[in-house]
Amino acid sequence: MKWQSLPGIRILIKRRDKLENAISINGLLRVVRENIIGIGQVAVDWIGGNFYFTQRYPSRTPGISVCSQDGFFFIAKRRYLSGKRNNCELLNNRFIGIALHSQRGTMVWIESFNRHRIMMADMDGENVRVLVGNKLDYPTGISIDLIRGDVYFGDVEREMIERVNMDTRERTVVLTKGVHHPYDLKYFNGFLYWSDWASSSLKVAELRLHHGSAYLIHSFAGLPYGLAINHSIYQPATSSIPCALNDCQWMCVSIPDIEGNLEAKCLCPDGYDRSANGDCLPLSDSTTTDPDGSSLKDEDLDLSHVGVAWMKERCDDGDGCLNGGHCEDIKNEYGRVTKIVCKCESPYEGYRCERLNPIKERAEQLSGSSRPHWLALFVTFMLLILLVLILIFAYQRSSPWWVTYLIFKGELANDEIFSNRRCLAHSLTLPWAHTTTFSSDATEFVKVN
Contact call for residues 240 and 262 (beta carbons, < 8 A): yes
The pLDDT assigned to 119 comes to 92
Confidence (pTM): 0.70
The pLDDT assigned to 162 comes to 92
Residue 354 predicted with pLDDT over 60: yes
Residue 217 predicted with pLDDT over 50: yes
The pLDDT assigned to 417 comes to 47
Most confident option among 24-33, 78-87, 240-249, 403-412: 240-249
Q: How confident is the model at residue 190 (pLDDT cuts 50, 70, 90)?
A: confident
The pLDDT assigned to 428 comes to 46
Residue 163 predicted with pLDDT over 90: yes
> Average of pLDDT values for 390-414?
57
Please write the tens of the pLDDT for every residue from 63-112: 888 888 888 888 876 544 544 445 555 555 678 889 999 889 999 999 88
Helix (H) or strand (E) holding 180: none
Residue 352 predicted with pLDDT over 80: yes
Selected residue with higher pLDDT from 448 and 171: 171
The pLDDT assigned to 150 comes to 94
Provide the percentage of residues in the chain whose pLDDT is more than 90: 14
The pLDDT assigned to 145 comes to 93
Contact call for residues 102 and 85 (beta carbons, < 8 A): no
Region of 281 on the Ramachandran plot (φ > 0 left; ψ -120 to 50 alpha; else beta): beta
Selected residue with higher pLDDT from 200 and 298: 200
Residue 261 predicted with pLDDT over 50: yes
CATH architecture of the domain 272-287+300-368 equals Ribbon (2.10)
CA distance 117 to 129: 10
CA distance 240 to 184: 31
> Average of pLDDT values for 399-425?
48
Residue 436 predicted with pLDDT over 70: no
Selected residue with higher pLDDT from 297 and 283: 283
Contact call for residues 33 and 74 (beta carbons, < 8 A): yes
The pLDDT assigned to 81 comes to 52
For the chain, what are the domain ranges?
24-219, 272-287+300-368
* 127 residue type, one letter: N
Please write the tens of the pLDDT for every residue from 124-137: 888 999 999 999 99
Least confident range of 79-93, 126-140, 155-169, 265-279: 79-93
> Average of pLDDT values for 16-31?
60
- Between the two ends of the chain, the Cα-to-Cα distance in Å is 100
For 127, half-sphere exposure in the C-beta direction (CA atoms, 13 angstrom radius) is 13
Contact call for residues 310 and 31 (beta carbons, < 8 A): yes
Most confident option among 198-212, 311-325, 412-426: 311-325
- C-alpha distances out from residue 56 to 18, 37, 86, 245, Å: 13, 8, 15, 35
Coil, strand, or helix at residue 310?
helix
The pLDDT assigned to 16 comes to 45
Residue 38 predicted with pLDDT over 50: yes
For 298, half-sphere exposure in the C-beta direction (CA atoms, 13 angstrom radius) is 5
CATH architecture of the domain 24-219 equals 6 Propeller (2.120)
* 66 residue type, one letter: V
CA distance 344 to 326: 7
The pLDDT assigned to 280 comes to 85
